Amino acid sequence: MKVFSSQRIDWLGKIEYFVPVWRRLPISPPNQLTLLRIVLTPFFVYYLFSPDPVDKRIALTIFFVAAVTDWYDGYVARRWGFVTRWGKFLDPLADKVLTSAAFFSFVRIGYADLWMVLVIVVRDFLITILRTYAEYRNRPIDTSGFAKTKTFSQLVVIYLFLLRYIVVTDPLFHPSFAAWFEQAVPPPVMEGMMAVVTLMTAGTGVIYFVKNWSILVHLFTTEPHDHSAERNPG
């Protein structure tokens, strides 16, 4: 255990050696990872709809890598002090771009109804915009535990639907296994899962508005405070 602990300390020490260099970069490492998530999104969609089965596997890998960067950029930002307003805006936006691309892809495949996806996407982008504006006005809106559960549920649905699509369409998998997977996750189950995620997403949106109504009213009924006027009187 002591050997493992010392190795971990040495590894962190090597990483921290580069932190001063990272701070001189025009874009911090966490924001680079966040931008990478946005850049990977069109590649995910392209490979997902490619007729080549190998490309579909690449699409699943791309989505997994992009999802991992979502966790890692937040860890790096908090661990080495790279938390910025730009990052607070860009990170949730990148998440919504990636998940929205996946959900719209499911509409194209026939795995989801358009109206459900529109509810999810509109709610997610609306709340993201409101949270960003509230952060800009120094009146941050708290994230509820139910909202985090909603995000987790969305990811579960996306991964399951991607796996089903790839297993059913990829000749790499034995036909009997593909048939079993298709029966294990039949269209009624998929529709039910989408309905639950849609209700959870809409519900958390309502909770946001009810819980933070006074903050939202304040944001849109008062003028932003001009700090520059205080620093430069006259």
Stated pTM of the model: 0.78
DSSP label at residue 52: S
- Output the pLDDT for position 16: 52
Residue 53 in this model has a pLDDT that exceeds 80: yes
How crowded is residue 84: how many other Cβ atoms within 10 Å of its Cβ?
Answer: 13
- Output the pLDDT for position 226: 52
Average pLDDT of the residues in 55-67: 92
Evaluate whether residue 228 is within a structural domain. no
- Model confidence at 207, pLDDT cuts 50, 70, 90, reads confident
Whose tokens are 């909603």? That residue is: 150
Count the residues in the chain.
Answer: 234
- The residue among 3 and 214 whose pLDDT is bigger is 214
Instruction: Give, in degrees to the nearest 5, the angle at Cα 95 between 92 and 99.
Output: 145
How crowded is residue 110: how many other Cβ atoms within 10 Å of its Cβ?
Answer: 10
Evaluate whether residue 19 is within a structural domain. no
Average pLDDT of the residues in 91-115: 93
- Output the pLDDT for position 70: 72
Evaluate whether residue 148 is within a structural domain. yes
CATH code of the domain containing 197: 1.20.120
Domain count, the chain: 1
Evaluate whether residue 7 is within a structural domain. no
Expressed as residue numbers, the domain containing 67 is 25-223
208-212's contacts with Cβ under 8 Å and 24+ in sequence apart are: 208/127, 208/130, 208/141, 208/144, 208/147, 211/142, 211/144, 212/134, 212/141, 212/142
- The residue among 171 and 10 whose pLDDT is bigger is 171
Evaluate whether residue 233 is within a structural domain. no
**Mean pLDDT value across the chain:** 79
Average pLDDT of the residues in 64-76: 74
Evaluate whether residue 54 is within a structural domain. yes
Evaluate whether residue 151 is within a structural domain. yes
Task: Report the range of poorest mean pLDDT among 81-85, 92-96, 196-200.
Answer: 81-85
Evaluate whether residue 17 is within a structural domain. no
